[in-house]
Amino acid sequence: MNSCIPKLAMISNQRTAALLSGRGEIVWLCWPAFDSDACFAMLIGSDDNGVWSLAPKHAYSTKRSYMPDTMTLESVYDVRFGGTVAVADFMPMSGARSSLVRIVRGTAGAAKMQMRFAPRFDYGNTRPLFEQGKGGEWTAVSGPHRLTLRTSVSLKLEDGALLAEWRVSKGDCASFVLEYSRSYGESTPEAFDQFAAKAETEEGWRNWIGQSIYRGPYQEAVNRSLLTLKSLTDMESGGFVAAPSSSLPEKVGGVRNWDYRYCWLRDTTFSLLGLVHCGLHEDAKVWLQWLSRCLQGDPKELKVVYGISGRREHSEWTADWLSGYENSRPVHFGNKASSQLQLDTFGEVMDALLRARRHHLYPIQDKSGQGLEVPLLRHLETVWDQPDRGLWEMRSGNRQFTQSKVMAWVAFDRGVRAAEQFGIDGPVDRWRRVRDKIHKTVCSQGFNRGLNSFTQSFNNKLMDASLLLLPLVGFLPIDDPRIVGTVKMVEKRLLRNGLLLRYNSAKVDDGFPAGEGAFLACNFWLVEVYVLQGRHEEARVHFEKLLKLRNDLGLLSEEYDHKHGLIGNMPQAFSHIGLINAALSLQAGTSIRHKDLNS
């Protein structure tokens, strides 16, 4: 299929999300949940793996936008030598039902429209059985899954797909309502008023984003990023996925293809700050409650990655029948990074719990620390000096990553602060000693005097953009010569065409062939560092450069490649979180992560 990551749109009901191409095709949809099997998987395969197309039959141009402050997508098709047709796509959020609605309206002249509905269950591997009901509705059934499609347009079944072709004139309206249900134990869902559902859903989105208190110069970008994060959040569990997609490549045609339909614990502080500083305290509270449930039990068994419900097991496997996005193979489902030791996770969690206390959002009733912080630090004392896989989840083996050790320092530092400020009951003097030992170790082994810079791992000369986090988490002051030197060296070694790589994959052995795009979250960290250094104009210029990388709908993927544009899973929560926090830092005149810690 033609390259479409930069043109992807997302609609969501906060249980799952559908991705649409720039041609009006639904090319990815996992149902009923974000991490369920996909029933439309053309995005990482071909149209034989499931697609739902809906567009004019003849040549057209397209203009797309979200309805203001909502996740309703409107695509306006201007047909050459014909009319103008508007298609609204959305997923209703009311009740327990899970559905997707497409409404077609003629707005000028006349045009022929065509539709092809070809679901394929089990990630594009299984054709369903189609049957037409007495009420005219069509069902597509495979195993436990049933899709019910209702429309006033005449459909015909041909070669495993429902087809339609009809003429739309000004004032005409047709709709397609698709609903998921189990194939057993439930009757075929009854029809509902799709127009009332549209109005109700859009009102819900507007009411939610209306709670944001951000009124800075980048309000449109921040609001769209907040809506994107909300769309990636499960309304029942409160967890949010890193992205709704799987195996969109970090290098087109390459092997760096991962499943991001899961929740990473390290996202806690990054997301918490953005939500709190935008006034969305209830959402922050729900996220922290999800986090606290995952932290229950023995910290030795702590995972890095969890399912949207908190499920722990999601073994990684490959789907050989899928050709991959532009032949980017293998196609992965599940994510084995979950079982890696990633020490930075402990620091992010402890940082988030301290900030939760400060903002009166602590997620459990027992505030003594015995339920969360104390057990985490007790375990971390035994493992902080071990090599790990690091923030970037290296698959080439464990190393003594500098940022991992710094985040272990953060964990003990936040434990000490929690004891001093909130009286949690723990061995504070021992925590101080461990904290100081880690700090000394990092400064002696993670700093290269010849480069005047911290390095990616102990006793080497490689650079890593995660080192930008050192001043943001308070490891050293922003004007410390070692931090000044590190920022300069990161800029010198990792800036390519004005954008920052997370590391140089041609020099770093991460277990895969070299080559990937600029990592967008790291570029937003650079904005925060510039602000903290007082380089406000450089921060603004770099931030606005990043805003221009968004697609026409304001969405960002994980990375940016100068040949292919946006690449990697899309839309990416980590990138949008970075955007929000950078915008807040620009408004505040300092890094909000740094300010929030020291205020």
Rounded to an integer, what distance in angstroms lies between the CA atom of residue 451 and that of residue 490? 11
Whether 229 and 577 have beta carbons less than 8 Å apart is answered as yes
Q: Are 32 and 17 in contact (CB under 8 A)?
A: no
E runs forming strands in 239-331: 263-264, 305-306, 317-318
Closest among 586, 581, 499 to 545, alpha carbons compared: 499
Q: How far apart are CA 506 and CA 503, in angstroms?
A: 9
Residue 213 neighbours by CB distance under 10 Å: 8
Over the range 192-202, which residues count as b (16 or more CB within 10 Å of their CB) and which as e? bebeebbeebb
Q: What is the pLDDT of residues 143-154, one digit of tens each?
A: 999 999 999 999
Both tokens of 463, joined, read: 């650079």
Res 3 pLDDT > 70: no
For residues 39 and 31, the answer to whether their CB atoms sit within 8 Å is yes
**In the prediction, which pLDDT does 426 show?**
96
Give the pLDDT band (50/70/90) at residue 598. confident
Alpha-carbon distances of 36 from 178, 215, 245, 344, rounded to whole Å: 17, 37, 11, 29
Percent of the residues in the chain that have a pLDDT greater than 90, as a whole number: 94
Predicted pLDDT of residue 530: 98
pLDDT digits (tens, 9 = 90+) for 461-487: 999 999 999 999 999 999 999 999 999
Is there a cis peptide before residue 56, judged by omega within 30 degrees of 0? Answer: no
Which residues are CB-neighbours of 207 under 8 A, at least 6 positions away?
none
Q: Are 41 and 50 in contact (CB under 8 A)?
A: yes
Cβ count near 309 (within 10 Å)? 16
539, pLDDT greater than 80? yes
Tokens of 3: 């390259």
Residue with tokens 């800075």: 216
Burial grade of 95 (CB within 10 A; 0-12, 13-18, 19 or more) = exposed
Judge whether 560 and 572 are in contact, CB under 8 Å.
no
Whether 499 and 561 have beta carbons less than 8 Å apart is answered as: no
Average pLDDT of the residues of the chain: 96
Element (H, E) at 532: helix 520-533
Q: What is the pLDDT of residue 596?
A: 87
CB atoms within 10 A of CB 494: 22
pLDDT of residue 95 exceeding 80, the answer is: no
pLDDT in tens, 286-307: 999 999 999 998 999 999 999 9
Provide the residue count of the chain.
599
Q: Is the pLDDT of residue 2 over 60?
A: no
pLDDT tens string 120-135? 999 999 999 999 999 9
CA-based nearest residue to 409, from 324, 476, 364:
476
pLDDT at res. 475: 98
Q: Tell me how far apart the alpha carbons of residues 58 and 252 are, in angstroms, rounded to a whole number.
A: 30
End-to-end CA distance of the chain: 51
Write out pLDDT tens, residues 302-313. 999 999 999 988
Q: Which of 245-259, 261-275, 396-410, 511-525 has the lowest mean pLDDT?
A: 261-275
Asked whether the predicted pLDDT for residue 597 surpasses 90, the reply is: no
